[in-house]
Amino acid sequence: MRYGKLAAGAALAALLLLEPGAAALGALNAMLCWARTVAPALFPFMALLPLLTGEDAARAWERLLGRPMRRLFRLPGAAAGALAAGLLGGSPAGALAARRAPGLRRDQRRRLAAATAGLSPSFLVGGVGAGMLGSAALGHVLLRAQLASQLILLCLLRAAPEAEEPPSPPAEPPAAAPPLRDAVLAVLTVGGWMALFGALGQSARRLLGDGAEALICLADVVTGAQRIARLGGDVFPRMLLIAALCGFGGGCVGLQNLAVLRDTGLRAGRYFAARLLAAGLCALLTAAQLQLRGARFPATDLPALPASALAAALLALPALWTLKKTAN
């Protein structure tokens, strides 16, 4: 494993050196996207995260939502604040909130973080909907699909076996450092990940041509959503692809969340299996909403909603198998 990481790092470094101009352009485009859409949407939630997940907030959330948290999700009431932060702040705010929430065991932190590792509502509505698709209403469709899929996934993951261990202490208490400094560092870290993946993606595209498009989309959700939105044509297939991609989150977002959650024991296979299941749910829920809205669909041999349900099932089956196999 140690030599495998070294070989992968050397290969990626060689890729950047072979196409330095493309790498610089990719990093620049990623940083511009971060500055225009990601940072303004993410920073306010990161700055408010200590207020949402501190000890006083945890007690308030527990009084308000403690019973539904226990009955629906098999989680303590103290997890309600972290759930709210994940739903409202996206990634990696949700992972940080799950890591810092008091009174949770490590397995509960893993379940909560894997289920709520979505994208910022501001990015879905403003960045993807209004910015990429030209319709904030379509962004709201994606947002509703994500919120519903997160809650459904959290219900499904409640069947995971519980560990017989006492609650683990919350990592990095908010009082350990000024909250604004933590928020700035977290948002800058997101920008760094985006710049790295942007550079690698542009370099790979220059070397491999259009054959690298699918890998680039899976690696970086922002780049992938932009390229899918530019395909043109009917809204239905583009919305399905974007919904599935946003539900999955991509490699860049996934590695950010896994880096935050490294001390919880969350495995990469289990995390990405959960996100694969979320991708199927998001696509299915998006198709259902478009069907109700009466959106025009392209000609196809299968009705839109059944076809989407079949695609969601194909994504869900391997994900459920992986989740069961890797359950701790």
- Structure confidence at residue 148 (pLDDT): 93
Question: What is the amino acid identity at position 180?
Answer: L
- Residue scoring higher pLDDT (317 or 43): 43
Q: State yes or no: pLDDT of 143 exceeds 60.
A: yes
Q: Identify whether the C-beta of residue 199 lies closer than 8 Å to the C-beta of residue 225.
A: no
> What integer pLDDT is reported at residue 27 of this predicted model?
85
| CA dihedral sign, ordered 200, 194, 185, 265 | negative
Could you count the other beta carbons within 10 Å of the beta carbon of residue 157?
A: 21
pLDDT digits (tens, 9 = 90+) for 37-52: 778 777 877 777 677 6
Exposure string over 117-146, b if 16+ CB within 10 A, otherwise e: bbbbbbbbbbbbbebbbeebebbebbbbbb
- Please report, for the chain, how many H helices and E strands are present, in that order: 16, 0
CB-CB contact of 123 with 260 (8 Å):
no
pLDDT at position 305 is 46
Mean pLDDT (the chain) is 77
What's the average model confidence in pLDDT over 3-30? 76
Return d(Cα 117, Cα 53) in angstroms, integer: 16
Return the percentage of the chain with pLDDT > 90, whole number. Answer: 8
pLDDT at 316 over 70: no
pTM of the complete model: 0.77
pLDDT tens digits, residue range 155-198?
888 776 666 566 666 665 544 456 677 778 878 887 888 888 88
Task: Assess whether pLDDT exceeds 70 at residue 69.
Answer: yes
pLDDT, tens digit, 9 for 90 and up, residues 128-141: 888 888 888 899 99
pLDDT of 1 strictly over 60: no
Q: What is the mean pLDDT of residues 216-241?
A: 83
**In this model, does residue 296 exceed pLDDT 60?**
no
